[in-house]
A = this chain, B = another copy of it.
Amino acid sequence: MKKLITIVLSIAITSYAGLGQRKIVNLPDLPGFVTLKCDFHMHTVFSDGNVWPTVRVDEAWRDGLDAISITDHIEYTPKEDFIPVDHNAAWKIAENYARERNMILVQGTEITRKMPPGHFNALFIQDASLMAVDSVWDALEAAIKQGAFLQWNHPGWKSQQPDGIPRMYEIHYKLIKNGWLHGIEFFNDSEYYPLVLTFCKQYNLAVMANSDNHGVISEEYIEPFYFNRPMTLVFAKARTHDALKEALFAGRTMAYFRDKIAGREELVKPFFYQCISISKPFYENDKSIFFEVSNKSDIPFYLENGATDAPTTITLAANSVTRIIVDKNVDNPLVYNVKNVLTGEDEVLKVELRY
Contact = CB atoms under 8 A, between A and B. Distances in A.
Given A1-B76, A82-B84, A82-B86, 13 more contacts: A3-B212, A7-B190, A11-B259, A12-B300, A16-B227, A21-B317, A22-B321, A22-B322, A45-B52, A50-B52, A55-B215, A102-B283, A102-B323
A21 B48 CA distance: 22
Interface residues of A, number: 81
B86 A9 contact: no
Interface in A281-304: 282-283, 285, 290, 292, 294, 296, 300, 302
A214 B2 CA distance: 7
A272 to B, nearest CB: 15
Contacts of A212: 3
Chain A interface secondary structure, helix, strand, loop or mixed?
Answer: loop
Contact of A102 (B73, B99, B227, B282): B282
Interface of A: 1-3, 5, 7-9, 11-19, 21-24, 45-46, 48, 50-52, 54-55, 62, 64, 73, 76, 79, 82-84, 86, 89, 93, 99-102, 112, 154, 157, 159, 189-191, 212, 214-216, 218-220, 222, 224-225, 227, 258-259, 279, 282-283, 285, 290, 292, 294, 296, 300, 302, 315, 317-323
B55 A320 contact: no
Contacts of A82: 46, 83-84, 86, 89, 93
